[in-house]
Structure formats: structure tokens, C-alpha cells
Structure 1
Amino acid sequence: MTANEHAFDFTHEREFIGYGMNSPDPQWPKGAKIAVSFVVNYYMGAEFSPEYGDPGSEWLFLDLPRVRPKEGGPRSDINESMYEYGGREGVPRILNLFKKYGLKYTWNISTQALEKAPYWARHIVASGAELSCASKRYIDYMNVDVDSEATHIAEAVDSLQKLSGDATLPHGWMVDRRSNVSIRLYAREHAKRGLPLLYSSDSCSDDLPYWTPSPLVADGQPDTGLLMLPFSYDTSDFRFNAYGNGWSSPKDYAEYLRDTFDVFYDEGLAGEAKMMTVVLHPHIIGRGGRLAYFEEFLQYVLSKPGVWIARRDEIAAHWAKQFPYHPTSAFCQTKQEPC
């Protein structure tokens, strides 16, 4: 049985109201008007490739627009070399940039990728960044059977702990190309190990963290809730290499980030503070011209008072403390009165 054939057993009722007109005050530390979260997706070496038994080479988010390789065709060396650039040049540039400004951030790891370059594991750990988990591979898990995905998740936890030397990891997940069962599968793995699951970022549905009922209730386990820290594709650098509506220049990207920040910052000044998430990829933002304009955005953010730049596990811990889980008020449970 494939993931798609019984995925709907594992999803919550859709929620279209959220916080409605009563957005909570996040009470960000030191009265901050906005929380900013930078997430670096590390998956170079975990993407599709015939090297790993896949039917073709990865074709998403490359600098050279290409026709999708035929299934069963040869490896695309040029495609793979663009991902290799992320490790060779992008990773050190990002590490150096965030070190330069002393900023906290999160690396979201596809563990097979870091296994191929453990050299970077110790540098990422030494940077003080959080290591969240993106599962073992950077592949479309909607096309992977449930048992295989569960195995990947278990192997990813083992690998991340070994690579980082931290047996408490991961605190959070963002599979990104997830299936409808991914969240429940990694929640199960954490429960099996007695490993706290602080948050999931496998959602794009809000600009604030929010609670949902635990995905393990259907397994007969107590409802301790699951905190969602949403992310968004609109502020991701992937749009440099996306088909259609993407960034025509690094200046466009920096301007959009600045405009988004300004809107959220103004909402914070008005008493409705938000969380802004910026997702980065070493093989994309790691190009020199792009990183230069991104640095200008960082400088702009740092010029503003009342900004909390934090790791995702720090944001999750803060939210859980200020707004503990309550099953009757969790999303997918709150019944709003009609207008």
C-alpha cells in the first residue's frame, strides 16, 4: 500500500480561520516586534540521482533551466555539479556570513547529504546553529511507500545524532517535500525513542506558531499536542531557480524580503507581532552576487530595534512556555461562530 492510498487517515481537518481577528501577542523576548527565523536547507547529495537507484537526476531549482531528465536515463553530471557547488562554496559563505553578524539560525538537514560531507557537520555544530531534520533524502515522499519513509526517518534520527554528537536531536522537522503521513511518522519515531518533539515546520498556513492535536491520538496515545512553526515559499531563495514567477535579480529578492519584513514589523508595532521565516539553499543563495544583496537585507534587519533573530527551537520553546497546549483551543478543534 502506498502513502497516497491511505494518507488521508493521517491528516487533520482543514483550518481556514486560524487566529481570526484575535491574533495573540506572541510576547517575543524583550518586547520584540518581530521574530525572524533563518533556515538553511542542506540537501546536496540527498537529491534524486541514479547513483542512489533513482530513475533520474534531480532537476528542481537549478541555475540552468533544463528539461526534466528521462526516467531510466543516464546521470546528469551538469545537474549534479550545480548541487555540488552548494557544498564547495555555498556552505562556507553562509557560515562566514552568519558568523560575521553573530546571528542565530537553523540548518535543516537531509542526513544522507551530511553523511557525504561530515567535514561540514562539525563546522555547523561549532557555529551554534540548530540542526533540525529533513529526513534522510531530499525526494518527493508522496511517491514513497509508508514503510520505506518510516525507515528513512529512523535512519535520519540515528544519523543526525551521530553526526552532531547530540543524542537529543532533532528538536524539530521540516521534510518540505513531505507526504501526508510524514508528520505522523516522525512523531511516532520520537515517541518510540522517548525523544521530545518540540515542533514541526511542515506547514505553510500561518505567520505565527500554532498548536494542533497530536498526530498520535489515532494511535491511542495521549493528546499532548504538536506545535507547528510554519514556513513560506514566498521568502525562499528557491524562486531564483523556479519556473514562472521567480526572482530576476538578487536585488529583487532583497527588496521583497525587506518589504515583507516591513509589513510584519509594522504589524508588530500595532500589537500583532508575527514570525518571518527565510528559507535558504547553499547552492542558490551561496552564489556571490546573491549573497551580497542578502547581506544588505541582514544589515537592514539589524538596523531596526525590537527584532528577535532566533533559532526555530528557541521560538518553539518560547511559544510553548507562553501558550501551553490545550486540546480544546488547538487548531482543528476551535469552532468559530459564523459572521
Structure 2
Amino acid sequence: MTNTGENRLYDYSPITERPPLDWPGGARVAAYVGLNIEHFLVGRPSTSIWSGTSHLDPDALNHGWRDYGTRVGIWRTIASLDRHGFRASALLNSDAVRHYPQIIEAGMERDWAWLAHGRTNSVLHTGMGVDEERAVLADIVDTIAGATGRRPRGWMGPGLTETHNTPALLAELGLEYVLDWTSDDQPFPLNVPGMLSVPYTLELNDLLLFSNGTTGPEFVRMVKDQYEQLHADSEHGGRVMALALHPFVTGQPFRAKYLDLALEFLAAQPDIWLTTSDEIAAHYRSL
């Protein structure tokens, strides 16, 4: 697909003009946790808590902050997910397979959904020709499948990045949906045969919220507000609520209890379907 300046990947569809979307069991909101499991390179500028050292090699300040997530933070997050009955949608860098086998094992024990999330979050998924990208995507998918015993069905690019060819190349590999286009509260078809967009979130995303000064109690209030509005909207058809988590952010000790309170609230709602992005895509496709 070439760049014409127009979005040819999907068509405009106002949510007010669609047939009602029904979730299993009469649920009104389908909720999932997008758990980012990422590997970062020491010598490459990446997600940072302070940009003042991000150009250094090594950047001990920022790399150590990110590494806290896979060493410590994710285990707090897993305990909270388990406590409230959430299966994660694991957004997995393929490089993480080699570096963090204990996390892969923990996810397999819990039957997480495994999504391809590029190779590493230190390198955006862009600037490739078709043949190069086809080979890169095949390697990412094969690596994740080899480690988990299951080929990923979904994709989210590092930094939500794609080329104009990514969805079609993913479809060639048997993937069924992407999370990169955060433009809706419901799944919708792309203009690529067999491919869907499933809602993700940049707004209810711990990395962006807490980087902008959100406090723990404010985070809990936002989760409640998001659910309550989507529940009200769902009078006209089911909605999707995504909660994006990074273990080096909400896995910090002083934030962990607020994540737990947010998950406790969601798990207590009678009209919610606690699910994965895989199951959301499969149910939508079944309709």
C-alpha cells in the first residue's frame, strides 16, 4: 500500500450508525489488560523517565528504570491480575523471549494471549521495504510461536508503529488483528482481507498518565470513569475497554495498590466481560 495522504486502511464508520454489538453472556463492556513485556537495548535511546541522559551509552538511569519492570514490577502486576481474575493480553517483544524466559513461563501457566509487539521497543517498526519487512515479521512471529507454542493472532507495533504494508504482511502470516489504530470503542474491519482493528488505548495507559503527573487515586478514578461512560454508551451496543500497563510504571511499589484497586473495581462489575484481545477479535469475527 502506497502513501497517498489519505487513510486507505479503513473506512469512516460513525459508531451511531452500526448494528448493535452483543458480547457473550449479555455483557455490556468487554475489558482486557494489555500487558507490555518489552526488551530495551542499553545503547539506544528508548522510553525514558528523564531525557537528560537518554543520549548516553550506557544510559544507566533510564535503562535501570525500564529493567525494574521485568525484574520486579511485573511480578507485582501478575499477583494483582491473578487476584482479580484477569488473563493478560501480553504485548511481547520477540527479543524478550530470549532474555526473560521466566516471564514467558508465567504467562503460559496462566494461558495469556500472546501478541507480537515487534522485536524490541528500542527500535520502531518503520522504514522497511516489503521484502525486508516480510522477513522481519516472520522472524518475530516464529520466535514468539516457538517460545509459547502458539502463533500470535494480534499485533501491536513498538510505539504503535507500522509501515503501509504491515497489516497485509501480517495477514499473510495468519494474524487477524492489530491494536495500533486507537480510533474506536469497538472492533472494526480493515481494508485488508481477514484483518481487524481491536481497540487499544493511549489515554488509559499508565506510561502516558503517570509521565504527565497523574496520581494513584486519580488513576483509579479514571478507570472508574472510563468504565461508567462505556457502560452508559453500551445501551446502543457493546464497547471495549482496554487498560494498558507497563511493569516499570504500575509495578512501582507506591503505585501497585492503585492498580489493584482499579482491577478490583472492574472485576466487581456485573455487566463486564473480563477477557483478552484475542477473544474480543474472535467474537467479533463470529458475528
TM-score, length-scaled by structure 2: 0.90
For the 8 Å contact 1:57–1:80, the answer to whether it is kept is no
Alignment of 1:1-339 (within 5 A): 8=3, 12-13=7-8, 17-43=12-38, 45=39, 47-50=40-43, 56-58=44-46, 60-62=47-49, 65-67=50-52, 69-70=54-55, 73-138=56-121, 139-142=123-126, 148-166=132-150, 169-181=151-163, 184-185=165-166, 187-188=168-169, 190-191=171-172, 195-214=173-192, 224-242=193-211, 246-268=212-234, 270-322=235-287
For the 8 Å contact 1:57–1:75, the answer to whether it is kept is no
**Structure 1 CA distance for aligned equivalents of residues 5 and 149 of structure 2:** 32
**Structure 2 CA distance for aligned equivalents of residues 102 and 285 of structure 1:** 18
Q: Comparing 225-234 with 276-285, which one deviates more in the overlay?
A: 225-234
Structure number with bigger Rg: 1
Q: How many residues align?
A: 286
Corresponding residue SS for 1:141: coil
**Structure 1 CA distance for aligned equivalents of residues 48 and 11 of structure 2:** 30
Query: Relative to structure 1, is the Cα distance of residues 69 and 100 closer, same or farther in structure 2, using a 3 angstrom cutoff?
Result: closer
- How far off its partner does 1:89 sit? 1.0
**Structure 2 CA distance for aligned equivalents of residues 189 and 209 of structure 1:** 17
Structure 2 stretches lacking a partner, 5+ long? none
**Deviation by residue 1:38-65 (Cα, 9 ceiling, x = unmatched):** 110111x2x3432xxxxx332x242xx2
Query: Relative to structure 1, is the Cα distance of residues 179 and 277 closer, same or farther in structure 2, using a 3 angstrom cutoff?
Result: closer
Give the alignment's Cα RMSD to 1 decimal.
2.4
- How far off its partner does 1:179 sit? 4.2
Q: Paired residue for 1:221?
A: none
For the 8 Å contact 2:216–2:258, the answer to whether it is kept is yes
Corresponding residue SS for 1:103: coil
Query: Relative to structure 1, is the Cα distance of residues 17 and 156 closer, same or farther in structure 2, using a 3 angstrom cutoff?
Result: closer
Structure 1 stretches lacking a partner, 5+ long? 1-5, 51-55, 215-223, 323-339
For the 8 Å contact 1:232–1:277, the answer to whether it is kept is yes
Q: Paired residue for 1:53?
A: none
For the 8 Å contact 1:137–1:152, the answer to whether it is kept is no
**Structure 2 CA distance for aligned equivalents of residues 197 and 16 of structure 1:** 20
Query: Relative to structure 1, is the Cα distance of residues 35 and 67 closer, same or farther in structure 2, using a 3 angstrom cutoff?
Result: same
**Deviation by residue 1:49-93 (Cα, 9 ceiling, x = unmatched):** 32xxxxx332x242xx232633xx421112111111001111211
Corresponding residue SS for 1:284: coil
For the 8 Å contact 1:247–1:253, the answer to whether it is kept is no
Amino acid aligned to 1:188: L
**Structure 2 CA distance for aligned equivalents of residues 142 and 48 of structure 1:** 17
- How far off its partner does 1:254 sit? 1.2
**Structure 1 CA distance for aligned equivalents of residues 133 and 210 of structure 2:** 27
Corresponding residue SS for 1:279: strand
Between the two proteins, what is the percent identity of the paired residues?
Answer: 20
Q: Paired residue for 1:328?
A: none
Corresponding residue SS for 1:308: strand
Amino acid aligned to 1:181: T
